[in-house]
Structure 1
Amino acid sequence: MKKCIGVILWMVLGGQAVAQERRPDLENRFLNPPASVKPYVWWHWMGPNFSKTGITKDLEAMKAMGIGGATIFNLASAVQETHAPTLNNPWPEQTYRSPAYWEAIRHAAAEAKRLGLEIGLHNTAGYSTTGGPWVTEERAMQKLVWSKKTEEGGKILLLNLPKPELPIFQGWGSPKNRATFYKDVAVLAVPVGTGIRVNQVIDLSSKMDANGLLRWEAPAGQWLIYRIGHAPTMANPHPLPDDIIGKSLEVDKMSAEQNRFHWQTVIDPLKEKIGEYLGDSFKHLLIDSYEADFQNWTPAFRAEFFKRKGYDPVPWILCFDTKADKKPFILENEEQTQRFLWDFRDVVNQLFFDNGWGIGKKGAQESKLALQFEPYEGPFDIAEGSALADLPMGEFWTHRGGIDERIAAAARAAGRTVVGAEAFTGRPEVSQYTEDPAFLKPTANEGFAAGVNRLILHHWVHQPFDDKYQPGMGMGWWGTHFGRHQTWADPGKAFISYLSRSQALLQYGEEVGDYLCLESLQGFGDLISKRDFIKQKITVVQGKIKLESGRVYPFLMLPNTPEMPVEVAEKIKNLVAGGATIVGAKPLRSTGLKDYPECDTQVAKIGNEVWGSGKKYGKGNVCATLEEAKRLHGIKPDYVIEKADSAQAVKVIHRTGSEGDVYFVTNLSKRAQQITVSFRISGKQPELWQAENGNIANAPVWNEKDGRTSVQIRLGDYQSAFIVFRKPSSKTDHVTFINVENNVEDWTVLPQREGGPNVLFSKTPLKASLGYASGKTRDVKVSGATEKQLTGPWEVQMKPKLEAPFTLTLADLVDFSQHSDPRVKYFAGTATYLKTIQLEANALRPDKRILLNLGVLNDIVSVKINGKDLGVLWYPPYQTDITQAVKAGGNTLEIAVTNNWANRLIGDEREPADFEWGTDRGEDKGRAMKAYPDWFIKNEVRPSQGRKTFSIWYYYRKDSPLKPAGLVGPVRLELMDTKAI
């Protein structure tokens, strides 16, 4: 049986060296990533627990680890589901916005400048959304509330209308205070019955006095009387620093006055305290994900609605009084009620941007700051929010995906070349100081495949205390636990380098999108919101649609709906008349009640004009399907997965710029795959750029046909590679396909080494048929590998994070958690295994390669041979080519394996607790430390000497299962015979 194979990229160590001073910019950025392409972090300051010493150490550690910048969050001293703070904090005077706080912020800005890092600040205390202790109930988010009575008419009614019950916020945040502020909107009466007409709604507002006394001469019949007002939703920013819990509210998102007040209150102190750093080391403000729940009113809403829609919304707001089945109160008929609700949602969205987020961006820009924004989960348009932000952001967690691809698509259309993501947020069930780079790799590649090109790591918690307290401060029960106290912080730099190199290429040029989508993302397109489409000056240049961002598209894809606002229909008509191509079904009617029913007539008329003349209108074209539009414009697929074991698991991102084209290819499968990808590129040499080690080499297996280039690669599970086209293709022969007999899967092609040819090798004997560009074929035979297992004894130098180093000798490799010595069983740190290995001169012939296979290990490893650093292996298989580092005779092997904190934390639970337990969320989530103990505050000797670790959240119990740790092996040398191709 023949099997197509390609290249195992993690084994590629050779490459094409180019002098750094002559490297093109793209290559130089890849090999030497600047700060702007490196991952950033969210830097959580927990309540009053911050220190200048800790700030400096954190920032220096970020610099050393390869982090580009940080966003400061001011949170509660512990963050849990209950948001309960930790008591007895050591610096109670360091309250939010106290003199000590501003001194710390200034110190952070100065240190960031010294280190060449960027910092910024979340605009409010907590991580959601916009508000603070300066927001009173009058300034807060508002919602409609009402009370109602049923009365018999035909007489003068003298009624006391009670105030509606006022809200208690039911979302995240604490405490659950009931609103006290209330203001009337209207008193309305409607006849009891079905089929209520709007003109039957009677406004009685002038007939009620300030005390709620209504005097009304009611017509005969039964009447339902509403007292409608607005009150604060009581949504609060959260989780708040300890001193302002219960003293803060979310600002009214639809009031220009209140948003100007909020953003001025945020920015003015920054100008005063750190003005010289604004736009320098202090560069951004952030709006995190929206968790403030809904808002449906603001004092000016009635006037704003009338200005935008041309009719009074107040009679229609009765439809919010839902029936028992949760369906709206029907006015006129079902269609008109739904049209009003569409108008209402549209005005809410407009006000969120015009009077809310837009004011925040304007305030930031006027202060030389960029606005970062996660524009989702709220009553506003994701695409419009993505276009508004200077850095639009998504979010993904370790236990699932979650990036909304609309964010990147809308960012592209708006000309944003960098798209961020809150990355690796971890739930307590899965992030228990057990996370490592291998665990994080799949979600990182999923994020990149969704269009993200700046990961902002969640989280790096500020460590204000003495370094003897580790793992130290956490964000309550949340992860992932990056930071300077992480066990693998030093070898983990290899993972950060992988992210940085990947982002250097993923931020290059612009991401390719073949066409533009309106409102609804479809296929391989970019996205523009309805409002941006209406507001922008969009032109048609040589039959193509050009946005204000400069992005150009061959056609516009319409949403799959028969409704269309009049303004959209008119703009589409003008674009097509000017030569544009549109794709979609003819619109039949309008969306809301604005100018109803004339609006329907207008839309239908435009639909008949533009769609009614066949496939042409004016200078432009009207296509019914996406395929038809692609054929019309000659658009071929940007890439095609020609061969793969699981094609749906292969994702591709394409960036293009002045230096060429870059494709990110990732395998999102748990199994390795042989993959052939065809690209819409011709006349250029495909190169393989490996972000894991910085290797650049010509792709050894590829061919060109019919204006497309196909490349064969082999990707391991959740592995990625970049295929770069930047140089003209050579005229020399190159392998265009490889077929293998005997169903052999574990062989590969390595690019040239030291100027020699590509080589073919395998662990088992095989016969391969090679095809060349000239049409020639040639069979080659490759013998299998000879394995040599390295057995004990092993000298192991143990360097625990919190104890004195020691050395032991192991007769055989063993999982540390199975060892009898408690120092080993509960070890957390780096264990370096030492051994001398003998090699005969025959093993070092030019046609030989020697691989070191470490087998099973936990969790990350660096390898040295004869003092030569061979780098870090941070995900399995833990295997590396050591050919260039070994010599005939004795060779010194050093294998430094770092495990995580878990076993040490479990071991400590077997010792008495020298603090009081707080909230216990169960064995799957852990429990809190209630208060900092007095011995800690006074810096005294800790009572429980057997406890080595110190933290504010404890995930484990004394009987929690230990985690595998150390080098388990077997460790093997694999001597490979290779064949030049």
Structure 2
Amino acid sequence: MNRREFFKSAAAFAAVGAMLAPAAGADTAAAAKPPAASAEEIFVRPPAAAKPQTWWHWMNGNVTKEGVTADLEAMARIGLGGAHIFDAGCGIPAGPVAFNTPAWYEMLLHACREAKRLGLVLTLSNCSGWSSSGGPWVKPAEAMKSVYVTTTNLQGGAKLAGLPAKPVSDDHGFYEDIATIAFPTPADDVKIPNWKDQTFQRRVPIKVSTPLYRHDRTEPGPGGTVKRGDIIAVTNGWTAPPGKDWTILRIGYACNGQRNHPASFNGCGLEVDKLAAAPVARHFDAYAGKLLALLGVTPGHNESAFKGLLVDSYETDCQTWTQGFAEIFAARKGYDLSPFLPALAGYVVDDLPATEAFLRDYRRVVADLFAENYAGTLRKKCDEYGLDFYLEAYGNGPFEFLQYGSRATIPMGEFWFETDDYPDTRRPVWGWWFLNGMCAPIAHVHGRKIVAAESFSATPQNSRWKKGPFEWKATGDKAFSDGVTRIVYHRYAHQPWMNVWPGMTMGEFGSNFERTLTWWEQGAPWILYQTRCQALLQHGEYVADVLFFRTEDPLDDGMFQDDPLGFGWKHDTICREDFLKLQVEDGKVFLPGGTRYSRFSLPGDAPLSREVAEKAGQIRRLGGVELRADKSNLPSPDVDVPVEYRSRVSWTHRRWPDGSDAYFVASGRREEMNVEFSFRQRGKAVEFWHPDTGEITRAANVREEGGRTIVGVPFDPCGSVFVVFREESTATVPAETHWNAAQTVDGPWHVTFEQKVTNGEPEIRTVEMPALADWTASDDSFIKYFSGTATYRRAHPGAGLLDLGEVKNIAEVFVDGRKIATLWKPPFQCEIPAGRELSVRVSNYWANRLIGDEQLPADCDYEPPARPGAENWSGQAVKSVPAWVSEGRRSPAGRYTFATWRHFRKGDKLLPSGLLGPVRIQSKRID
């Protein structure tokens, strides 16, 4: 079917937009309850929980009330649902509102009041910076701790003249001994394979196929191990038995000095102990709890806009011990760990199987404590105060990712945007892809509707005001296909100034997404598109065929596992803790409220504990079906396409409460495609739900074949649609419109350029263009380097289908001053009524004006960031905010812009910009 048949009338589109009103005081936690509204209702009027949100970085104390209000009002105008507040440094000069001061809390209170007024919800990062949980209130005794060992050799018969030196030179204010022990020095210098990984002294992702799990490795010789019976606890003055050399280990634990980062100066402190509940609770009380108290929030009663707490990805060091750990270990595992303490220094105790069995128990206790006392305590505190708990449960920590993440109210992943500057339009533009497929199973298994994602993160090369909605779309759609149901933009840097363009940045990183964008107001339809998608993706239940249990060992993080099934099937992964709770009904395995799976799978070669083996046997006896090793008992593919399209499209499947099956399908290619999809459905009506327009139409190209339904799906460049199977449908196949031959809409065009000016009035210039041309080809430097919105005007060409051709980057179409459509992706087409004047407002990106300003003298000083790799020119940080910016004056060098990060140089390539055309009009043919 021709794509043009799907266009919606301007009046109907405007009506849908008007119905999308914000729900004042909406609590995101409500999204966890089954929605009472039908799918049609939430598609037309999406709930507040379906709106995208954004991370909102308050940069190093540069915060103003005017800026906070302006930011929140701008978010509400384009349809965002909320913001996640961070305090961060990132090389930005310090401002006047220091973290954790009365002025800081007044700003937070102001933000909460304004958010409530606007119907937005706020989430607070749990500390300054983004990794992980710490601050100046954390004392050394309640901070993260690690095991340290000093090794000393002593000849037999010699006397120990003083204990070995304390095993850590800088204990950061806390140290306690665990034990000082001696044993005969092993004859061979044999250490446990990967022993630093196995003891969580470092965390490098591995898979279950590594030698750690294989049983064919070489055992140490008789003299290469430490015998438990030979280990002696020693004190000062101990005399070593004669006849052999002795190794003495002084083992202790100390504060490891890890600090939250990249925090502002006032917010930086020690990372809290993750293995003990009480310090974590006090950490919560010291920051989030303080804001709750100031807001008057009490347990069970939260009417404020503060509705969430966030823990970002774990990017700090591991923790390997805490007070009372030996006693906790004995209580949980039923034996004393003291004889195995040499294993924490890499020694084999008795033999390799015994040592690895201990280390598995050790890692399990550490991981359990991490999940229970860190994430679990924060979840309890959030539940107490009516907060959603967002958790990015991955990184280099001593935990089992799925177990750790199961404590989240809203599991959160992330994806990064990569450049789409490829000459081949057939190449999928899906970005740097990871982590969502690991976080989404947590929600699916537990029946949680929202899977959030830190979205469109980017390196400086892939962001810096060069991208926007269409460039991002395929990456965002792939996130939806991988289970994401809430986009949270990375990132919005708080803009403390009211007339500075483009202004504050989050250092060099992240996609620029602030009210100072050239296209901010024109971005509302893009946000509405995502909102409609998320409304349907949060509706009903996720559908998958197989539940994988990969391993019991927290050392196998599962982050980088290949897809075990292939294109046509969806699967989830479950942790040990939840596997032991599985139920079986009608041959399906599940947790109450979660997805039901027709197959389950156990790891092929990893050892299973007695508890897991017994549970697997119980599941089989109750009728659960185990996936065969050769996968021969898989059901037929839920979705299939011709082989050549499998790398070009993505999909996900929801089952709605009324029994309808909805498949979101998306193209990753920047060209039109028609793809035949084969679905595991039959005997149902097939509809297309278009999230870009809000239309619901009957699919035209449908047939049944071999017990499956084949549907032809036409895609725009990077297009997407919901293919919905229903028992009955009232939707109709759009009548084909017949158009006359296209006529070129020639010039002249009267074009008005309105350039924003930092701390000044906009500079406006009108020119006549005899023919359409790229702005960057102009001899006029004002037009060549223009960034902003220019308005093209000419006599109305007549009613019909208007095709703008190529647009860089977003266009708004008006007839006699009345907006007809905002076009943010190709094809840039819309149907226009008759009138006198046609005008098209075209917005490009900031990059060209920033490059243009580099042609002018400098008006402030920048310097490279003080970190490794800065020589690759990630840009330069401003040394200090110049007085002319803070005092509201124009640039002394005549520049139009100011930004806290210098991303461009004089010779950088300009981006094609403007209405490039050719513009054509087609009138309706009357037969």
TM-score normalised by L of structure 1: 0.80
2:895 is the counterpart of 1:947: yes
* Contact kept in structure 1, 2:10 and 2:820, CA below 8 Å: no
CA offset at residue 561 of structure 1? 2.5
> d(CA) in 1 for partners of 2:5 and 2:839?
20
The 5 Å alignment of 1:159-174 reads 159-166=162-169
Letter in 2 for 1:115: L
Distance in 1 (alpha carbons) for counterparts of 2:71 and 2:230: 63
1:66 and 2:84 aligned = no
Following superposition, the deviation at residue 460 of structure 1 comes to 1.2
Aligned length: 831
- Tell me how far apart the structure 2 counterparts of residues 923 and 798 of structure 1 sit (CA, whole Å): 35
Letter in 2 for 1:385: Y
Q: 1 CA distance for matches of 2:926 and 2:250?
A: 86
The equivalent residue for 1:391 is 410
Residues in 1 aligned to 2:409 and 2:888: alpha-carbon distance in whole angstroms: 49
Q: CA deviation at 1:351?
A: 0.9
Residue 230 (structure 1) aligned with residue 253 (structure 2)? yes
Is 2:926 the partner of 1:926? no
Alignment partner of 1:472 is 2:503: yes
| Residues 1:216 and 2:223 aligned together | no
Which of residues 461, 468, 492 is equivalent to 1:429?
A: 461
For 1:100, the equivalent position in structure 2 comes to 103
Rate the CA distance shift 1:574–1:674 in 2: closer, same or farther, 3 A.
same
Question: Match of 1:852?
Answer: 802
Corresponding residue for residue 60 of structure 2: 47
The range that moved more, 475-484 or 965-974, is: 965-974
> Does the C-alpha gap of structure 1 residues 671 and 858 become closer, same or farther in structure 2, counting only changes over 3 Å?
closer
1:244-286 CA-to-partner distances (Å, cap 9, x unmatched) read 44xx011111122322222232343123201248354211111
Match of residue 583, structure 1, among 615, 620, 626: 626
Structure 1 residue 180: Cα displacement: 4.5
Q: Does 1:674 align with 2:663?
A: no
Confirm or deny that 1:627 pairs with 2:632. yes
- Whether the 8 Å CA contact 1:45–1:72 is kept in 2: the answer is yes
CA distance in 2, matches of 1:837, 1:542: 65
Any idea what the Cα deviations from partners look like across 1:489-521, whole Å, max 9, x if unmatched? 011111111111111111111111224322468
Relative to structure 1, the CA distance from residue 552 to residue 855 in structure 2 (aligned partners, 3 Å threshold; closer, same or farther) is closer
Q: Which residue of 1 aligns with 2:224?
A: 195
Shift in Å at residue 427 of structure 1?
0.9
Answer whether contact 2:177 2:251 (CA < 8 A) is retained.
yes
SS where residue 295 of structure 2 aligns?
helix
Over the matched positions of the two proteins, sequence identity in percent amounts to 35
Instruction: Tell me the distance in 2 between the aligned counterparts of 1:14 and 1:702.
Output: 26
Q: Which residue of 2 aligns with 1:448?
A: 480
2:195 maps to what in 1? none
**What is the CA-CA distance between 1:684 and the residue it aligns to?**
2.4
Aligned to 2:330: 306
User: In the TM superposition, what is the alpha-carbon distance from 1:30 to its structure 2 partner?
Assistant: 1.2
Matched, 1:115 2:115: no
Tell me the distance in 2 between the aligned counterparts of 1:915 and 1:553. 60
Cα distance in structure 2, aligned partners of 1:198 and 1:651: 56
1:706-729 deviations in Å (ceiling 9; x for gaps): 543221112133221111223526
Contact 2:71–2:494 (Cα < 8 Å) also in 1: yes
Matched, 1:484 2:515: yes
Distance 1:484 1:504, change over 3 A: same
Q: Residue 644 of structure 1 contacts residue 676 of structure 1 at CA under 8 Å; is this kept in 2?
A: no
1:356 paired to 2:349: no
| CA–CA distance in structure 1, aligned partners of residues 155 and 266 of structure 2 | 53
Distance change >3 Å, CA 794–CA 729, structure 1 → 2: closer
Q: Deviations over 1:867-906 (max 9, x none)?
A: 453312212343x142xx244xx75321211011111112
Query: Aligned-pair distance for 1:564?
Result: 0.7
Contact 1:690 1:722 in 2 (8 A): yes
Shift of the alpha carbon at 1:234?
1.6
Counterpart AA for 2:398: P
Letter in 1 for 2:874: K
Moved more, 385-394 or 721-730: 721-730
Call closer, same or farther: CA 1:637–1:959 in 2, change over 3 Å: closer
- The answer on 1:637 being equivalent to 2:644 is no
Aligned to 1:478, the other structure's residue is in SS state: coil
- 3-state DSSP class of the match of 2:521? coil
1:433–1:683 CA distance, 2 compared to 1 (3 A): same
Aligned pairs (5 A) from 1:714-753: 714-728=714-728, 751-752=733-734
8 Å contact kept, 1:432–1:955: yes
SS of residue matched to 1:146:
strand
Q: For residues 277 and 905 of structure 2, what CA distance do their matches in structure 1 show?
A: 52
Counterpart contact for 1:646–1:669, Cα < 8 Å: no
Shift of residue 940, structure 1, vs aligned partner:
5.7
Asked if 1:513 corresponds to 2:544, the answer is: yes
Contact 1:454 1:503 in 2 (8 A): yes
Determine if the alignment matches structure 1 residue 569 to structure 2 residue 514: no
Alignment-derived partner of residue 823 in structure 2: 873
Name the CA distance, whole Å, in 2 between partners of 1:305 and 1:344.
8
Structure 2 Cα separation of the partners of residues 542 and 702 of structure 1: 32
Structure 1 residues 576 and 9: alpha-carbon distance in aligned structure 2, compared to 1, 3 A threshold: farther
User: What's the secondary structure of 2:386's corresponding residue?
Assistant: coil
- Distance in 1, matches of 2:701 and 2:9, equals 16
Alignment of 1:320-719 (within 5 A): 320-321=344-345, 328-377=346-395, 378-399=397-418, 400-465=432-497, 467-519=498-550, 522-523=564-565, 524-534=570-580, 536=581, 538-549=582-593, 551-561=595-605, 563-577=607-621, 579-583=622-626, 626-628=631-633, 630=634, 635-641=635-641, 643=642, 645-659=644-658, 660-705=660-705, 707-719=707-719
Cα distance in 1 between the residues matched to 2:631 and 2:689: 34
1:271 corresponds in structure 2 to: 292
d(CA) in 1 for partners of 2:898 and 2:241?
72
Quote the residue 2:914 is aligned against. Answer: 966
Amino acid corresponding to residue 573 of structure 2 in structure 1: L
Superposed CA offset, 1:91-123 (max 9, x none) = 2xx221211111111111111111111112011
Secondary structure of the residue aligned to 2:462 is coil
Q: What is the Cα deviation at residue 653 of structure 1?
A: 0.8
1:364-411 CA-to-partner distances (Å, cap 9, x unmatched) read 111111211011113222222332210001000112122341221231
The alpha-carbon distance between structure 1 residues 27 and 644, as it changes in their structure 2 partners (threshold 3 A), is farther
What is the match of residue 171 of structure 1?
A: none
Deviation per CA, 1:914-953: give whole Å up to 9, x if none.
323233545742111101223444x163451511212211
| Aligned twin of 1:810 | 769
Residue type of the alignment partner of 2:54: V
Confirm or deny: 8 A CA contact 2:144 2:273 kept in the other structure.
yes
Task: Tell me if the contact between 2:649 and 2:665 (Cα under 8 Å) persists in the aligned partners.
Answer: yes
Instruction: Give how far 1:85 is off.
Output: 4.0
Distance of 1:562 and 1:351 partners within structure 2: 23
Whole-Å Cα distance in 1 between the matches of residues 37 and 134 of structure 2? 47
User: Which residue of structure 2 aligns with residue 741 of structure 1?
Assistant: none
Q: Against the structure 1 CA distance between its residues 235 and 104, is the aligned structure 2 distance closer, same or farther, given a 3 Å change threshold?
A: same
Q: 1:650 offset after TM fit, Å?
A: 2.0
SS of equivalent residue, structure 1 residue 218: coil
1:414 deviates by 0.8
Deviation for aligned residue 1:667: 1.5
Residues in 2 aligned to 1:559 and 1:7: alpha-carbon distance in whole angstroms? 48
- 1:448 CA drift (Å): 0.6
CA distance, structure 2, for counterparts of residue 58 and residue 9 of structure 1: 37
User: Alpha-carbon deviation of 1:626?
Assistant: 3.8
SS across alignment from 2:850: helix
